Amino acid sequence: MSKYVEIASTLRERIINGEYIAESFLPYHKELSKEFKVSRMTIQNAIHILISEGLVITKRGLGTMVLKRSFIEESISRVANWNNITLSSINDTNSSKFEVLSFDVQFPILEIQNLLDINEEEPVYEILRLEDSSKLDSKLQRVIIPVKYTSNLTKTIMSDSLMRYLIDEMCYKIHCVKNTFTAIRADEKDQKYLNCSSSDPILKIDQVSYCEDGTPLFILSSHIACESSGYNYFQLL
C-alpha cells in the first residue's frame, strides 16, 4: 500500500478516536512530514483523502481543521463538482421557475433548530413554492433558511434558483448535500397544488445543504406526485 494511503488511514483513526479533537487543528504539514518521515507532498496527498471524505478542511495560512459533523454521515451524497461550479444534484435545477405561494419569517420549531444547528431565537425564512407546472412533473417545495445567512431574501430570488443565488451572489460554498427520501400519501396542499387525490403516493425529498465547515445552510423539502401525472418521475425500471 502506498504511503499516503496509510498515512491517511492513521490520521483518520486518530480523528475517529478523538485523538485529534473536532473543531481544532491537525499538526501542520511540516510536523507530520517529520513524524512520518516523508515529504510534504506525501502528507498533502494523505490529507486530500481526508478532505474528500469530509473529515477535515484546510485553509491557507491557517491549517487543517477537523470537522464537527464528520465521520457520522455515511449516507451523505456529495455535490458534484463540475467545472468548478458546485451544483445541487436533484432539486433546485437551472431552468425551472417557481411560483411563490407563501413567504414568511418565523421562529423555528425544535426539529428545525436541530437540523439547522440554530436556537429558538434565530428567525428563519419559510417559503412555500410551486415549480412551474407546465411540465408534467411539478414539485411543491418548502424552503427553510435562517435569516442570519441571507437577510435580504426576496420573492424574486425564491422564484428562481435559491442554490444559484447562494453560490453566485452570496458566495457560499456548498460542500455537501444530504438527501433523504420517503413515500407519503398526498396531503391537502399536495392535492390542491399538484392536482392529485388523497390516495396518490407522493415522493418526498428532504435536502439539507452544508457549507465547507459543516454548518447547515438551509433545508429544502420537495413533494413530487409521481403517478397522478401519469408519469413516473424518477422511474427507471
Compute the least distance from the CB of residue 129 to a copy of itself, in Å.
Answer: 16
In Å, what is the CA distance from 94 to each residue of 33, 81, 132, 178, 236? 44, 15, 13, 19, 22
* 2 counts as binding DNA under rule CB under 7 A: yes
User: Nearest CA to 209 among 180, 176, 181?
Assistant: 176
- Kindly tell me which residue out of 44, 77, 93, 191 binds DNA, with binding defined by CB under 7 A: 44
Cell of 60: 491557507
- Kindly tell me which residue out of 29, 69, 139, 175 binds DNA, with binding defined by CB under 7 A: 29
| Main-chain phi, psi angles of 27, to 5 degrees | -55, 150
Of the pair 36, 71, the CB lying nearest DNA is at 36
Of the pair 9, 221, the CB lying nearest DNA is at 9
User: Nearest CA to 189 among 139, 126, 231?
Assistant: 139
Alpha helices in the chain (DSSP H): 3-16, 29-36, 40-52, 110-116, 155-158, 162-164, 188-193
The full length of the chain comes to 237
Compute the least distance from the CB of residue 225 to DNA, in Å.
Answer: 44
- Cα 148–154–159 angle (5° rounding)? 125
- Helical packing angle, 29-36 and 40-52, nearest 10°: 110
- Kindly tell me which residue out of 10, 22, 53, 63 binds DNA, with binding defined by CB under 7 A: 63
The interface with a copy of itself within residues 92-121 (CB under 8 A) comprises: 111, 115
Of the pair 41, 105, the CB lying nearest a copy of itself is at 41
The interface with DNA within residues 7-26 (CB under 7 A) comprises: 26
Spatial separation of the C-alpha atoms in residues 96 and 155, rounded to whole Å: 15
User: Nearest CA to 85 among 203, 192, 171, 208?
Assistant: 171
The interface with a copy of itself within residues 19-48 (CB under 8 A) comprises: none
Residue 64's binding partner out of DNA, a copy of itself, none, with CB under 5 to 8 Å set by partner kind: DNA
User: Nearest CA to 77 among 57, 93, 95, 91?
Assistant: 91
Give the 3-state secondary structure of residue 89. coil
- Kindly tell me which residue out of 24, 60, 119, 171 binds DNA, with binding defined by CB under 7 A: 60
* 37 counts as binding DNA under rule CB under 7 A: yes
The interface with DNA within residues 114-173 (CB under 7 A) comprises: none
- Kindly tell me which residue out of 11, 20, 42, 202 binds DNA, with binding defined by CB under 7 A: 42
Cell of 231: 408519469
Q: Give the residues lining the site for a copy of itself (CB under 8 A).
A: 5, 9, 12, 52-53, 74-78, 80-84, 89-90, 111, 115, 180-185, 199, 201-206, 208, 219, 221, 224, 226-227, 232-237
Q: Give the residues lining the site for DNA (CB under 7 A).
A: 2-5, 26, 28-31, 37-42, 44-45, 47, 58-64
